[in-house]
Every structure is written in structure tokens, then in C-alpha cells.
Amino acid sequence: MTILLTAAEQKKPNIWRRARHSFAVARHEPANLIGLVLAIFFAYLILAPVLSILVDSFIVQSGDEARTHQDEGSFTLYYIVRTLYSRISEILLWQPLYNTLDIAASTVVFSMSIGVALAWLVNRTNMAGRAWFATALIVPFMLPTWTFALAWTTIFKNRTVGGQPGWLESLGITTSNSVAYGYFPIVFILVLHYTPLVILIVGNALRRLDSQMEDSARVLGAPSRTIAFSIVLPLIRPALMSAALLIFADCIGEFAVPYILGLPVRYDTLATGLYRALDTRQNGVAAVIAGVIMIIGVITLLIDVRMMKEARRFVTVGGKGNMDRLRKLGRMRLPASGFAGAFVLIGVVLPLLTLFLSTIMILPGRFTLENFTFDYWIGSNLDTVALRNGILLTPEFWQAAWNTIVIVGSSSMISGVLGLLVGYAVLRCSFKGVGSFLRQITFLPYLVPGIAFAAAFLSLFAVSRGPIPALYGTPAILIIALVASKMPFASRSGIAAMTQLGKEPEEAARIAGANWFSRMTKIIIPIQAGPLATGILLPFISGIKGVSLFIILAIPSTDVLTTYSLRLLDYNYDQAANAVVLMIALIAWLGTVLIQKISGTGLAQGLEN
């Protein structure tokens, strides 16, 4: 046995040899190839549309030659000036911007206050009916936001808008515009929708909190108030911040609610302003507005990144002691349940009941027996002009439902698998740059409102470019757009799942002699079946609820449930439209229940990622 202390100085291999060796190594690591392919794919699918929006704001659009005195396609600052500095920029940008921020900030403040209180009640007190509320309080988040908006108009609609009157109106009570439309109902509905998110995220943090930390404070003689404010609150602060930013960002891009409730009183947000600009063929202005929304998104994201960095200092290992010590509410036990019950009543029971009643009433707001009918659901040979059968007997409805399942289903499936592949490539790729590029690019759609994204897709894929044929009017464009818009969630959950899995199960399979295909099909995908199912179902639910992509990209032959219900609304078949909306809510709710069956607390965890 020889003793080797200093090995002989060896000539460093030259770059060429090293490169060839790296290639020999990389040849057996398909993650590199997958990473590169995905990077190119997403560059085209995500980066190209986003860039095209940004570029559009500096390029003379078709039809604007006369205004700008320039040729189509040449560089111009006209749109920037028009949107930011002209006489109408107040209407185009500043007022909508103010409204958007106003709505987002108010929603964050109110939903956080109510949500934290409810999260505490559900997780840390002996409130009556705790277990039931833990599920019931989450339901508003499973329903599309515009379900509430439609329920609201059903009750509060006044004479400002034509069509069938609201219930209160028919009962002889005139509602003022400020109650029926605009800021108040929009914030009210968004608060209803996002409070469950706070309950989920903050509740999760509360449950995960190591009880020993509180016990230590208690042993040192700290009263409950001190424990709450100097131990618990600082520790759940990261969760609070992430919930707040998530809600803020979502509110900025919210389209359906302000579209339904803001338009009648010309209360514009950036998203509806963008839609209006697109609708009136002002693509350049639309591009500038989209740019502004993206900037707000980037700022929110930067704050989030900053906060997360700070939050990491708080991360503590352990936390085995589960929180079974509940605070006794005493005399407040029933009032607390009353508070939670009121939330369920306003957030779930009333809107759904209203919508359901509206579908079985011939004339709105007239509560007499002969006014009730199930014709709008199952009637046939009705004396209406177009819709001669109840929606459950209308082929168009089932066609739209089928389209929804196929289009949203396949796009969720694709994005779920792509998300897992992105996670795989990000963690395994030998080239650092590819990994971080993938990580960032798949997150980009989060910053772009669906409406803007859809517009960009329209301009990019409506005509044939290179090898890709014109896609407008085909389900393909909807599927691609949905996939791209769901990638932020899909890639994040894919990366999280692959990080949690680690490299070793796969390395062990390599050692056992498995090639890449066997490793994928026999090890990675079976182990990741749960996360993958969640990663498919969550985008499916949010896809079903989504409006903005469809409203731009769908045509009657690719009708989905959302566009079908909006079209019914346009034709004033309110009852049938609301019936379709109820069916959407039902599908979304069933899907969510399915997720929770598959993966315990999947929803809460998925949302936090």
C-alpha cells in the first residue's frame, strides 16, 4: 500500500477536451435537452407575446396612419403620449389606474382583517361548529368571482341599464347607482372571494407554528396578548404578506367583476380599460395599458421576492407539536359562530340561492307561486325566440360543456406535465442559465393580465407565421393560451415537487441500470402522481372559471360555458345564463372537492407556492 501525499502536478486538460468531456456527460443527461427544448418552446409561447405587446406600444398600428402621420409599422411615441399625457389620458389611464389600485388596496385591507379573524377562530378557538366552518368558509373561493357579480345584479340592478329589472327594483325599492354598481359592490365581492384565501394561507401558517415557541413564552410568564403580538404575529408575518401580495396582484388583473359591475356607470379599471381599448381597435393604447399593468405586477413581484428573502430568516426547523390547545371563547362562543355563519350566508348561501331562484322565476323579483318554473332548466317547446328548450335540453349547452372539458382539460393536462418537466429540467440541467431562464419565463404570465395575454395571442397567432398555421377560431389557440397562462402555477408546483423529491430516487434508479425513459415512467411520474394530479386539477378549476382569455379568443364554434353564458346574457336570457353559471360553479366545486380527496390539504399548499 503506497502513501500518496502530493500527487504529481498534472497538466490541466485544455478547453477542447473539457468541452468534449462535458458533452460526453451531457449526452447521458436528457434534462439538458429537455431544458433547451422547453426554453425555446416557452420563449415562443410566453416571451414572444409579452414582447409583442410591449413593442406594439411603440409601433404605428394598422388604421392609425392618419392620426400619427406615419406609415404603419414605424416607430412612434404617439400611444405613450396619448395614454399618459393627452387630454383623454385621464379617462384612458389615470382614472382606471386609480380605481384599480383603490379596489386592490381596499380588498387587501378588508379581506385580510376578516380572513385573519376567521382563520384564528377556525384554527385556534373552540368556536361552535369549527370543523364545519373550516370547509364551508372556503367555498366562496371555489366559485367564479362573476357568480357573485351576477347574483348582485340580479338583486340590485336598477334602471341605469336596460333589460330585466333587479329584484329590489321590481319590489318597488330603487337602488342608488353607488350601491348597484362601481366601487362598493366590486370591493364587496372581491373581499368575499379572497377572504377564504387568507383563511387558507394564514390558517396553514398557524397550524404549522411550533407550539413550543408559544409555550416558552408562556413559561416565562407572558400573557396571551403578548404571546399573540410578539410571538405569533411576527412568525406568521411572512404568510400574511404573501397572502396580501397574492390578493393584490390578482385584483389588479381581475376582469369579470368590474366588467359586469363597473361598465354601467363607466367605472373603469385597467383590465376593463384594456378590453375597451381592444374592442375599439386602439391596439397601441391597449399595449400601453398592458405595459402599465405589467409594471405594477413586476413591482408586486419584487416586493414579494424581497419579503420572502426576509421571511427566510424566520424559517424554523421542526414544529412537531400540533396545536390542539384551543382558546376557550366562553360567552363569545356563539357570537363567534354567528360571525363565521354570517360570512357563509353572504358569501355562499345568498349568491347561490339568488342565482338559483333567478333561474326558476319568469319575472324577476315576483315571489308568487305561478311565477316559478323549471322551464329554463328542463322545459321544451318554449315560446321564446331562440332558446326553445331549457338549457339542460339544449344541445349548445352540452356542446359548450364538452368544449370546456376538452379545451380546459387538455390544456391543464399539458400544463401539469410541462410544469413537472420544467421542475425536472430546472433542477437537473447542467447549464445554470437554462434553469433560471425557465424558472423566470414560466412565471412571466403571472405579471400579464389574461386580457392582455389573450390580445397578444390574437395578434401573434391569428395569421399563419412560418410553420405555424393561422390558429384563430380553432381550439388550439385557446389551449395554447391557457397552457401559457397556467404555467406560473404549474411550473412552481413542478419545481416544488421535484425539489422535495430530491435527486436520489432517480440516481438510485440510474445505478440500478434504468435509462431515462424507465426512470421517468417507473420512478419520477409514479412518485409525483399526487402533486401531478393537483397540478392538473387546480389549473382546470381556474380555467373553467376564467373569462378573459375566452372572451377574446373563443368564437361560437369553440364556445365554452363561460362565453356561452355571457352570450345568453347579451341576448337577455338572464335565467338561462344564470343556470349555466350555476353549472360552472358546480363543476368548479366538484373539482376542488376531488383535489382535496386526492391530496389532503392540496389546495392550501398549492395556493401558497
Partner 1 sequence: MPTISLTNLTKCYDGNTEPSVDQVSLTVEDGEFMCLLGPSGCGKTTILRMIAGIEHSTSGEIAVDDLVVDSVHQSCFIPPEQRRIGFVFQNYALWPHMTVERNVDFGLRLQKVPAQERKERCLDVMSKLRILEYADRYPSQLSGGQQQRVALARMLAVNPGVLLLDEPLSNLDATLRLEMRAELRRLHQTFGTTIIFVSHDQWEAMTLANTIAVMNKGQLQQIGTPDEIYAEPINRFVAEFIGNPKINMIKLTESSSDQVDIANHILARLEESKHAEACAIRPEEIVLSDKANANTLPMTIENIMPTGGSWVIELSFGDDRLFHSTQSRPVWREGEQVNAYLPTQSLHFFDQTGHRLVLPESHIDYTNVFTNMTRSSQAPNAQPFVNQA
Nearer to partner 1, 89 or 599 (CB): 599
Site for partner 1 in 92-131 (CB under 8 A): none
Three-state secondary structure call for residue 521: helix
Q: Which is nearer to partner 1, 219 or 511 (CB)?
A: 511
- Does 5 engage in binding with partner 1 (CB under 8 A)? yes
We find the least distance from the C-beta atom of residue 248 to partner 1, in angstroms, to be 36
Only one of the segments 177-185, 284-292, 524-532, 585-593 lies at the binding site for partner 1 (rule: CB under 8 A); that segment is 524-532
Nearer to partner 1, 184 or 431 (CB): 431
Tell the smallest beta-carbon distance from residue 25 to partner 1 (Å): 4
Residue with Cβ nearer partner 1 (4 or 369)? 4
Task: Spell out the residues 6+ positions from residue 390 whose beta carbon is closer than 8 angstroms to its own.
Answer: 374, 375, 376, 377, 378, 379, 380, 382, 576, 579
Q: Which three cell numbers stand for residue 562?
A: 363561460
The percent helix, strand, coil of the chain (3-state, each to 5) is 75, 0, 25
Binding flag, residue 427, partner 1 (CB under 8 A):
no
Binding status of residue 21 toward partner 1 by CB under 8 A: yes
Measured CA to CA in angstroms, residue 203 lies from 123, 136, 145, 208, 598 at distances of 6, 14, 22, 9, 20
Q: Out of 162, 432, 467, 517, which residue is the one contacting partner 1 (CB under 8 A)? A: 432
Establish if 428 lies at the interface with partner 1 (CB under 8 A).
Answer: no
* Maximum alpha-carbon separation in the chain: 103
- Cell (9 digits) for 432: 445554470
- H-helix or E-strand spanning residue 414: helix 395-428
- 508 near partner 1, judged by CB under 8 A: yes
CA distances from 459 to 73, 276, 471 (A): 14, 16, 11
Q: Which of 126, 515, 521, 572 binds partner 1 (CB under 8 A)?
A: 515
Positions in 284-323 near partner 1 (CB under 8 A): none
Q: Give the burial class of 303: count Cβ atoms within 10 A of its Cβ; 0-12 exposed, 13-18 middle, 19 or more buried.
A: middle
Selected from 24, 66, 220, 369, the binder of partner 1 by CB under 8 A is: 24
Q: For the CB of residue 31, give the shortest distance to partner 1 in the complex, in Å.
A: 13
Out of 344, 529, 549, 607, which residue is the one contacting partner 1 (CB under 8 A)? 529
Tell me: does residue 8 bind partner 1 (CB under 8 A).
Answer: yes
Kindly indicate which of the ranges 15-23, 344-352, 399-407, 575-583 contains the residues binding partner 1, using the contact rule CB under 8 A: 15-23
Site string for partner 1, 468-507 (x = CB under 8 A): ------------------------------------xx-x
Cβ atoms of 362 and 379 closer than 8 Å: no
Give whichever of 466 and 513 is closer to partner 1, judged by the CB atom: 513
The minimum distance between CB 520 and partner 1, in angstroms, equals: 13
Among 130, 208, 218, 510, binds partner 1 (CB under 8 A): 510
Candidate ranges 20-28, 39-47, 225-233, 411-419; the one touching partner 1 (CB under 8 A) = 20-28
Answer yes or no: are the C-beta atoms of 414 and 526 closer than 8 Å.
no
In angstroms, rounded to a whole number, what is the distance separating the alpha carbons of residues 462 and 477?
9
SS3 at position 310: helix
CA distances from 323 to 68, 123, 203, 332 (A): 66, 8, 11, 21
CB of 580 to partner 1, least distance (A): 41
Residues that bind partner 1 (rule: CB under 8 A) add up to a total of 38
- What is d(CA 39, CA 49) in angstroms, rounded to the nearest whole number? 15
Burial class (CB in 10 A: 0-12, 13-18, 19+), 177: middle
**Nearer of residues 3 and 219 to partner 1, judged by Cβ:** 3
DSSP single-letter state for residue 59: B
Closest Cα partner for 78 from 108, 56, 94?
A: 56
Query: Residue 468 has which C-alpha cell?
Result: 405555424
- The alpha carbon of 360 is separated from its chain's Cα centroid by a whole number of angstroms, namely 31
Shortest separation between residue 24's beta carbon and partner 1, angstroms: 4
| C-alpha dist (Å) from residue 597 to 410, 481, 593 | 21, 29, 6
Interface residue with partner 1, options 228, 245, 303, 514 (CB under 8 A)? 514
Residue (4 or 220) nearer to partner 1, CB: 4
Instruction: Identify which of residues 5 and 66 has a Cβ nearer to partner 1 in the complex.
Output: 5
CA 352 centroid distance within chain: 22
Minimum CB distance to partner 1, residue 511 (Å): 5
Which lies closer to partner 1 via its Cβ, residue 274 or residue 429? 429
Residues that bind partner 1 (CB under 8 A): 1-8, 10, 12-13, 17-18, 20-21, 23-25, 27-28, 432, 504-505, 507-515, 518, 522-523, 526-527, 529
